[in-house]
Structure 1
Amino acid sequence: MRAALTPTGRVRRLRMRITALFALTSALGLVTMAVLAVRSDDARWREQLDRSMNLDTTQAISLLTYDADDRIDTRDLVETVDADCPPLTVFSVPRDGASGPVVDFAAARPCLTARPADLRAVAEDAVRREDVVAVDRRAQDGRPVRLFAEPFFAPDAEGADGRDGVVVTVYETTVPLAEHRRTTWVLTGGCAVLVLLSAAVGHVLSGRAIRPALTVLGQQEAFLADAAHDLRTPVASLRMLAETALRGETDTTDVLRRTMRLADGMGGLVDGLLTRARLMSGAQSLAPEPLRLDQLVEAVVADTPAEGHRVTVRAEETVVVADPELVRRAVANLLGNALAHGHAPGMPADVTIDVARDGTVTVEDTGPGLPPGVAESLFERFRSGAGSTGLGLSIASWVAHAHGGSLAAGRGTRDGGARFVLRLPAGPDRQ
């Protein structure tokens, strides 16, 4: 059985179908127009040639007369017109139908020699229809030719023994047929190129049309991957605690306390995952407004439980234009990261936060610092230290760049700890 397509695969297959439909629609329109153009060109050159041949036959008929025996007299035609090229043939056709057409005049040295059967057939057809007849045939040497027959009638059209006449002329069609074939090939090639071009354009346009869907699917898959990755450990810990409690191997109060800590951690993790997903998808847009960055940082520090750690704030009066909620979350994530990893095991953290007038927030700790070569990819998810998901720094980096700022990491100036510098555009009166 064929494996089921992923959502991304189905969207890509839809793109190919849209491209094919676009190309097919264009091909149908172009082929229809090309067929009409080819037929129009074919009818045009035949119409022009028939008009020229009609002039020759009409001129020849004007020079024909009937003698006393009601026979066609071709002397004026022979003396006046060069009937060799294009060749002229004059037939007389009895009205009683007792016999077929009789040649009354034929070119002495014709430049084209049509088959006699073709000449007689077109002459009979013209008399029967009482109108001009034009057909395409082959000369005796195989060249394509066009036969044109125009009938004329004896003065005593009511007499039983009268004979009608037909003038037939022959034109070679090699050149116009070659030009027509050239036009056909040009139109065919042009249609093929335009179909390919329309397919390419349709592929590009369909790609642009499905790009938002692919982006959303990618974000959804990333969110699911993040959730599965980050929730696996705390869920396993909760299961282990539950099994331990069921076996009665530990104190119930201690189990509940550890369960509460895990629940709080999972709540913060889910909140971070949802925030990151909303930021990446654009569901949470910026709402910038002038705000006092120094006051916001002090409020974040006041709301963050220190749990024995020391946090020092050195802030200058600073005004920035930014989204308060997003900046608050970015600063809180940087502070939380410093409190979690900016100290030696079993020792309290010593964190310093500096707020400068140019819109810079510097968070520095005295912990073990950053491993070599980690600063470049530190703001990707899953790149923080043990016990952390890395979402906090990823969200802080996104907030900084969304405001036109930056977030940089490096070695601290105090005891070799880590140093994070968040830069936001300063307000117009503080630049």
Structure 2
Amino acid sequence: MRRVRPGGAGALTPAARVLRLRRRISLLFALTSAVGLIVMAVLAVRGDSGRWREQLDHTMDADTSWALGLLETDEHGRLVLDVLADSVDTACPPLTVLLVDGDDKGALTVEHAPTKPCLAVDRGVVLEAGRAAVRADGVRALDGRTTGGDPVRVFAQPFYAPEAADDAAPQGVLVTVSDASAQRDAHRRLVWRVTVGCAVLVLLSAAVGHVLSGRAVRPALAALDRQEAFLADAAHDLRTPAASLRTLAETALRGETDGADVHRRTLRLAEGMGRLVDGLLTRARLMSGTAAVARQPLRLDQLVEAVVEEAPAAGHRVRVETVAAIVVADPDLVRRAVGNLLDNALTHGHAPGVPADVLVTVGGDGTLTVEDAGPGLPPEVAGALFERFRSGSGSTGLGLSIASWVAHAHGGSLTAERSAAGGARFVLRLPTTG
């Protein structure tokens, strides 16, 4: 059998598990957004990196191609650079002519180099670019740095001897250098903006994901709250009839009551418990939105008289003053609300050891008033009297909360104030036919 460690994942409450699921959904949403944004950012940065290099390479390719047209050879096939030196300012951009030394493609000699170039690059960088072009038998470009550490782009284009065969090796290489500082700075600014933008978007997506996940789990949390409320209300309403059944059974076992009377009282209690369960289920369905209030014309005065007659007085005094009043309401729900108000008055509306004196009044405007002569409303609960689990005498306080819910479900109200006798006075108002 699987063991659950105290405080572990298995010990979490249902609400805590739903909230943990919300955090996981938010994290997954943020991670998904982050991965997508990072991929797009990497593609954008790499694209920009290749773009500015291609632009520089295209410019240097045009320069070297034009310079190739100025190369001449004498009658002995030797390279003549006079025209190139006279026609091209080889100092800026610096243009270096390398010749292949024999059949060794890695052996290059400098045939011409600017004396005072605008970009001072180490000769090893120039030779490296030239060797790469000779080995590849085509143009090559690479990144480099000046002797001062500034970024440059080095471009090498091979050239061939006049009337050389198609498969002949290059005679030499033209190498030029271009300043890449502006392009590199612009690229770094782009990387910085993309990084900051991605971070902001990831945080924004995390916030949006948290809000959306909160909306997604809100129905589950509401359902859990309704479930807890239903269980608490069921325990509250069934506690009294269950205790009565136990007392009745103990009395019957002692032989103090006639058997037929015990059966009749047991049947009444069972019927009452069945009505309570039906009422609780109805309330749960109403709160979950799966059922509607069964509104119909109802004689409030007759319903109140029936509730008072069925209530166990147990030595208490209950007076009823009614006039004919027709309200539009659900009979079962109103019966439960009236019963809870009366039970609250009989339980809390008197001093210990003194019978309760309760006055129940029904007005023609659909108003029900329940007054007692007890100690009144405790100040510490007066502001939250109709909230669940609030009471001034140690009870759960669900009875008043259910009565208040019934009143508001019908578009009415339930208020509490001090009575003329110093006790509590509850006023239930329901909509009438008029």
Give the TM-score of the pair, scaled to structure 2. 0.81
1:314 aligns with 2:319: no
How far, CA to CA, are the matches of 1:319 and 1:241 in structure 2?
37
| Change in CA separation of 1:155 and 1:383 when aligned onto 2, cut-off 3 Å | closer
SS at match of 1:78: helix
In the alignment, structure 1 residue 253 sits paired with structure 2 residue 253: no
- With over 3 angstroms needed to count, the CA separation of the structure-2 counterparts of 1:382 and 1:241, relative to structure 1, is farther
Alignment check: 8 A CA contact 1:87 1:111 kept: yes
The structural deviation recorded for 1:175 is: 3.0
Matching residue of 2:362: 353
- Compare 120-129 and 383-392 and name the one that shifted more: 383-392
Could you tell me whether the CA contact under 8 Å between 2:374 and 2:423 is conserved in 1? yes
| Equivalent residue, structure 1, for 2:302 | 299
CA 1:276/1:376 → structure 2, altered by over 3 Å: closer, same or farther? Answer: farther
Structure 2 residue 117 is matched with structure 1 residue 110: yes
Residue 271 of structure 1 deviates from its aligned partner by 4.9
Structure 1: 5+ residue runs without aligned partners? none
- 269-278 or 14-23: which moved more? 269-278
Q: Report the equivalent of 1:365.
A: 371
Structure 1 Cα separation of the partners of residues 126 and 398 of structure 2: 93
* Structure 1: distance between partners of 2:303 and 2:167: 123
How far off is 1:159 after superposition? Answer: 11
Task: Report Cα offsets for 1:208-229 as digits up to 9, x if no partner.
Answer: 1111111211222333344456
Contact kept in structure 2, 1:338 and 1:363, CA below 8 Å: no
1:283 Cα deviation after fit: 3.7
Whether the 8 Å CA contact 2:377–2:392 is kept in 1: the answer is: no
Query: How far apart, CA to CA, are the structure 2 residues paired with 1:98 and 1:302?
Result: 116
- 1:79, 1:168 → 2: CA distance? 18
Verify the 8 A CA contact 1:406 1:423 in the aligned structure 2: yes
From 30, 54, 74, the counterpart of 1:23: 30
1:372 Cα deviation after fit: 4.1
Distance in 2 of aligned mates of 1:161 and 1:281: 88
Note the C-alpha offset of 1:35: 0.8
Residue 153 (structure 1) aligns with:
160
Q: Which residue in the other structure is 2:426 paired with?
A: 420
Match of 1:215 in 2: 222
| Cα 1:203/1:161, change in 2 over 3 Å | closer
SS of 1:212's partner is helix
Question: Gapped runs of 5+ residues in structure 2?
Answer: none
More moved, 263-272 vs 194-203: 263-272
Q: Tell me which of 32, 45, 51 is aligned to 1:38.
A: 45
Q: Is the 8 A contact 2:236 2:398 kept in 1?
A: no
Aligned length in residues: 416
Question: Does the 8 Å contact 2:68/2:159 carry over to 1?
Answer: yes
Match for 2:300: what amino acid?
V
Deviates more, 1:147-156 or 1:25-34: 147-156
Distance verdict in 2 for CA 1:347–1:209, change over 3 Å: closer
Deviation per CA, 1:9-65: give whole Å up to 9, x if none.
211121111111111111111111011001101001101111111122122212222
* Partners of 2:356 and 2:372 within 8 A in 1: no
Deviations 1:400-419 (A, max 9, x none): 22344321112334x45543
Q: What residue is the counterpart of 1:89 in the other structure?
A: 96
| Bigger mean CA offset, 139-148 vs 77-86 | 139-148
CA distance in 2, matches of 1:216, 1:240: 36
Match of 1:184 among 162, 181, 191: 191
2:108 aligned partner: 101
Q: 1:243 to 1:286 in 2, by over 3 A?
A: closer
Q: 1:146 to 1:365 in 2, by over 3 A?
A: closer
Q: How does 1:214-253 map to 2 (within 5 A)?
A: 214-228=221-235, 235=242, 248=254, 251-253=256-258
Label 1:262 to 1:423 Cα distance change in 2 as closer, same or farther (>3 A): closer
CA RMSD in angstroms, aligned pairs only: 3.7
What residue in structure 2 maps to residue 69 of structure 1? 76
| Identity rate, percent | 56
For each residue in 1:158-184, what CA deviation from the matched residue of structure 2 results, as whole angstroms up to 9, or x when unmatched?
A: 499997232110123233223222222
Task: Summarize deviations over 1:103-139 as a string: whole Å, max 9, x none.
Answer: 2211110122323233223223323433211011233
The SS at the match of 1:156 is coil
Instruction: Give the aligned partner of residue 400 of structure 2.
Output: 393
Alpha carbons of structure 1 residues 72 and 296: separation in structure 2 relative to 1, 3 Å: farther
Structure 1 contact 369–417 (Cα < 8 Å) conserved: yes
1:248-280 CA-partner distances (Å, limit 9, x unpaired): 4x5243893776676567556545544543444
Task: Supply the distance in 1 between the matched residues of 2:301 and 2:167 (Cα, whole angstroms).
Answer: 126
> What does 1:197-212 align with in structure 2 at a 5 Å threshold?
197-212=204-219
Q: Distance in 1 between matches of 2:359 and 2:105?
A: 128
Answer whether contact 1:30 1:191 (CA < 8 A) is retained.
yes
Verify the 8 A CA contact 1:405 1:425 in the aligned structure 2.
Answer: yes
Secondary structure of 1:419's partner? Answer: strand
C-alpha displacement of 1:355: 2.6
Deviation sequence 1:366-399 (CA, Å, 0-9, x none): 5436334254333234556879764443222112
8 Å CA contact retained: 1:94, 1:163: no
SS at match of 1:123: helix
Change (3 A) 1:233 1:352: closer
Q: TM-score, with normalisation over the residues of structure 1?
A: 0.81
2:342/2:370 contact within 8 Å kept: no
